[in-house]
Amino acid sequence: MKSGKVLLIGRPNVGKSTFLNNIIGQKVAITSPKPQTTRFAIRALYQDERGEIIFIDTPGLMRKTEDHLSENINKKTLQAINEEVDLVLYMVDHTRKRDFEEARVLGIVRQIEKPKILVINKIDIQDKSYLAQYKFLEEEDFVGIFEISALKKLHIKPLLDKIFELLPEVDESKKIENINPYPLLNIDSKTFIAELIREKVFLMMGEEIPYTTTTIVDEIIERENGAMYIKARILTNNERYKGMLIGSQGRKIKEIGSYARKEISLATGKKVYLDLTIEVDPHWMEIYI
């Protein structure tokens, strides 16, 4: 039986979380078109008859760290990279120009003394490509190069086959028993639900607001009828943003809450009551990441 840890690394928005969700078969990491969606490493377990893989999805490494949030995200990524792993998936997005940010990530990848696979994502997009700028990577020390579409689930199976080929054999008795119907995750239910709510903020608000917000789940109560009561807060650092998150006559927060409640209900299989409020905390970036 094969077993091991596989590190996902790349720039922000290359598609690492989408890849992980589609490999696992359900959402374990939130996604959005905006950078900084993933703020800490997510570990999720994949199992089949060949063995098991613990995928470690890291936040995208950013070149500029102009605030506490960006700085702490980069720190958490570097901590995950320093964890003992068996294999590295270096993911690039051929629809974006190669730049200094990409060069920095590649520099870090080169220093990891483990087998590495180059994954070129978003091959379903053909009208905009800078693939020629990434041709030099073919000369790097990769044990495999794969072109995939994480979103469309294209060519995922050959990549998964290669991962299992490269992972070490382990004693069958050491296999992780996943008796829970949900994937094995390194985050608790409060954090997972908070992430689902934050995803809705990223998807439904403008360009600036998502980076000034985080979400905190204070309470989860399962009632006698089986329904879940969830008390949660969206924190932002400015009164102006609070007003925008609430919206005219409270429409925006109701919309965010409605979409979040439906997804939480889908993920848990339970009826959900979501008590969602907005608070201003100018220092949340120093405390909650």
Of the listed ranges 17-26, 42-51, 73-82, 236-245, the one predicted with least confidence: 73-82
For 89-121, how does the pLDDT look when each residue is reduced to its tens digit (9 = 90+)?
999 999 999 988 899 889 889 988 899 999 999
Residue 41 in tokens: 């490493």
pLDDT higher at 41 or 180: 41
Q: Check if the beta carbon of residue 28 is closer than 8 Å to that of residue 183.
A: yes
pLDDT score of 31? 79
Kindly report the number of other CB atoms within 10 A of residue 66's CB atom.
8
Provide the angle, in degrees to the nearest 10, between the axes of the packed helices 156-166 and 16-24.
Answer: 80
35-44, 70-79, 177-186, 277-286 — which one is most confidently predicted on average? 277-286
Mean pLDDT of the chain: 85
**Do 216 and 191 meet the contact criterion of CB atoms below 8 Å apart?**
no
Q: How many CB atoms lie under 10 A from the CB of residue 78?
A: 13
The phi-psi region of residue 149 (left if phi > 0; otherwise alpha if psi is between -120 and 50; otherwise beta) is: beta
Instruction: Tell me the pLDDT band of 18, cut-offs 50, 70 and 90.
Output: very high
The span from the CA of 180 to the CA of 164, in Å, is 23
Q: How many residues does the chain have?
A: 289
- In DSSP terms, 117 is beta-bridged to 89, 144
State the average pLDDT over residues 34-49.
80
pLDDT digits (tens, 9 = 90+) for 148-198: 999 999 999 999 999 999 999 987 665 555 434 344 455 678 888 998 998
Write 178-183 long-range contacts (CB < 8 A, 24+).
178/45, 178/47, 182/26, 183/24, 183/25, 183/26, 183/28, 183/44, 183/45, 183/46
In whole angstroms, what is the distance from residue 212 CA to residue 201 CA? 10
The pLDDT of residue 43? 85
Q: What is the pTM of this model?
A: 0.75
Over pLDDT 70: what percentage of the chain? 84
3-state secondary structure 131-188: HHHHHHHHHCCCCEEEECECCCCECHHHHHHHHHHHCCECCHHHCCCCCCCCCCECCC
Question: Which residue is listed with tokens 């050959």?
Answer: 158
Question: Phi first, then psi: what are they for 154, rounded to 5°?
Answer: -90, 130
Lowest mean pLDDT among 47-51, 78-82, 119-123: 78-82
| Residue bearing the bigger pLDDT, 29 or 269 | 269
**Weakest mean pLDDT among 21-35, 95-109, 215-229:** 21-35
For 211-227, what is the mean pLDDT? 90
pLDDT of residue 229: 95
Q: Which class in CATH covers the domain with range 2-174?
A: alpha beta
Kindly indicate the confidence band of residue 224, based on its pLDDT and cuts at 50, 70 and 90: confident
pLDDT of residue 288: 59
**Which CATH class, in words, describes the domain spanning 189-287?**
alpha beta
Write down the domain spans for the chain: 2-174, 189-287
